[in-house]
Amino acid sequence: MEDLITCVEEQPQPPSSLPNSWTNQHSDSAQRTDEEPKAVGGFVLVHAGAGYHSESKAKEYKHVCKRACQRAVESLRAGALAVEAVAAALVELEDSPFTNAGMGSNLNLSGEIECDASIMDGKSLHYGSVGAIRGIKNPVLVAHRLLSEAQKGKLSAGRIPPCFLVGRGAHDWAVAHGIPPCPAEKMATKFSLSAYKRNKRKMEIAEKMDTPENPMKRRRQSSETENGSECLDTVGAIVVDQEGNVAAAVSSGGLAMKHPGRVGQAAHYGCGCWAQNSCNSNPYSTAVSTSGCGEHLIRTMLARECSVALQAEDAHQALLDTMQNQFISSPFLASEDRVLGGVIVLRCCRCEEDPPSQDLQASLDVGRHRHAVE
């Protein structure tokens, strides 16, 4: 099942008075749940990733998306800001053995799990990110802690606090800041180990086919193993809180059989997620979360590009144009025979006397044959 599996949960808001509002009609794999009216408003949208999702596990994917939505909503009801609620949603997604994030992530060539994650706060515009981190069950918590620590200001001797850490340094920083390590044997699941063994056999077969007479066949099959749709499962979420603040986050175990140390779009600024509150130059608050082939999303900075498109009066058309011109037909991807990626986006406006109202919620997926599916 190739799709961008999503779930939406919205706390009651007054009807939007915007004349050009547009709401995406979700597919059967998406779920929307209206809660009983509460004093607190908010909006949560999560996804389990673009790419292949087994039909046999469709129910599990929907359940984990719903739980992630509910976790974020509970945080909002308790008075949390958007950035805290979006982190709560990601923790739920990372804890699922069915997603390619945190526990149960894809294994790399060495048979180890290295994760990427990032989070952005639209209110402060601060950003936290980790790449190729091992032995941490919830990488998004490290990214969130980096963001929080950066908001406190400079370190001793006037040093600038980090916003992006990788590898062993990221792991050690996380442990030093109270985030417990997780043994490698507990990070892998029977599903991820089975996929690793299967992909390893495919690569061994491809290597044997590498002959002087037919070198391209091996490269083609190797590419299919590395970039197959089953590997493209970056998870993410976007949230609006009761004050109208937006936040976005993503987490991923990366491509299956990736080279150790590889860092995907889930850790890169402007590529994995983006969140920005409205200001004088931007009339709308926007939040974006991406999923797909990290290298394609990095080279096009798709999250940032979609955020810019959302400021247009006709945001729907602007998004479609951005996906076509800045991603599918991007000159930066001209050498690729196919591009792989998807996004969930949201924009909202806030009137001075009224609570924030969401006038756009969208889910776009770019398929394997360079076409956009609305």
- Residues identified as active-site: 234
Which residues are within 8 A (CB) of 67 and not within 5 positions of it... i.e. 6 or more apart? 92
The answer to whether residues 248 and 87 touch, using CB atoms and an 8 Å cutoff, is: no
Please provide the distance, in angstroms rounded to a whole number, between the alpha carbons at the two ends of the chain.
16
Look at the block and give the residue holding tokens 């590529």: 271
Apex 290 CA angle, 104 and 326, nearest 5: 145
Q: Where are the beta strands (DSSP E) in the chain?
A: 6-11, 22-23, 31-34, 42-47, 115-121, 127-133, 164-166, 235-240, 246-252, 273-276, 285-292, 341-349, 357-366, 372-373
Rg (CA), the chain: 20
CA 195 to chain centre: 22
Look at the block and give the residue holding tokens 């909202």: 348
Interatomic CA distance for residues 279 and 270, integer angstroms: 19
Interatomic CA distance for residues 71 and 89, integer angstroms: 6
Interatomic CA distance for residues 68 and 221, integer angstroms: 36
Per the DSSP assignment, residues forming a β-bridge with 130 are: 117, 165
Tell me which residue of 18, 83, 15, 79 sits closest to 44, measured CA to CA: 83
